Homo-oligomer: A and B are copies of this chain.
């Protein structure tokens, strides 16, 4: 079964701390993870699918009380595999957000080298993409852009450069 972005987001949050469906919705409503929709119509069915596919399970804690979602071994494995896939240029082009989501969940992995290599692949994917866009700007098509078009492309470019800077700085921080 192929997981969606929302699927990974849910597994990652549950892995950090077992919680209820409602608590997950609150996270999307009240934290900068609000890029995802918090509507019940997306969360609850998604959770049900994840349980059905064996990535999560719903059970009461040892001392009794409310049932909460917990990650299964299967879910943890899927998460680990996902976190370890290198960042591709394609991913940087389509959805940088997704890359950052993965980075955030690296918190749950304790091998130190993983974050390092993740950031390294991110940096190089960014560099490739930046080169591509710069090449485009200097190509005939790029030169033919109007003011708005050019500025919009430059905006994207600046965003990628900021990310690259961030990746470089963060990598240093993880040497300790």
Contacts and interface: CB of A to CB of B under 8 A. Distances in A.
A44 interface: no
A93 B29 CA distance: 11
Contacts of A30: 141
B94 A141 contact: no
Interface stretch (A2-10, A66-74, A150-158): A150-158
Contact of A163 (B133, B159, B166): B159
How many identical subunits does the complex contain?
2
B159 A159 contact: yes
B173 A31 contact: no
25 contacts: A30-B141, A31-B136, A32-B133, A32-B156, A35-B93, A35-B94, A100-B155, A100-B156, A103-B151, A103-B152, A103-B155, A104-B148, A104-B149, A104-B152, A105-B148, A107-B146, A107-B147, A107-B149, A115-B148, A154-B166, A155-B163, A155-B166, A158-B165, A158-B166, A159-B159
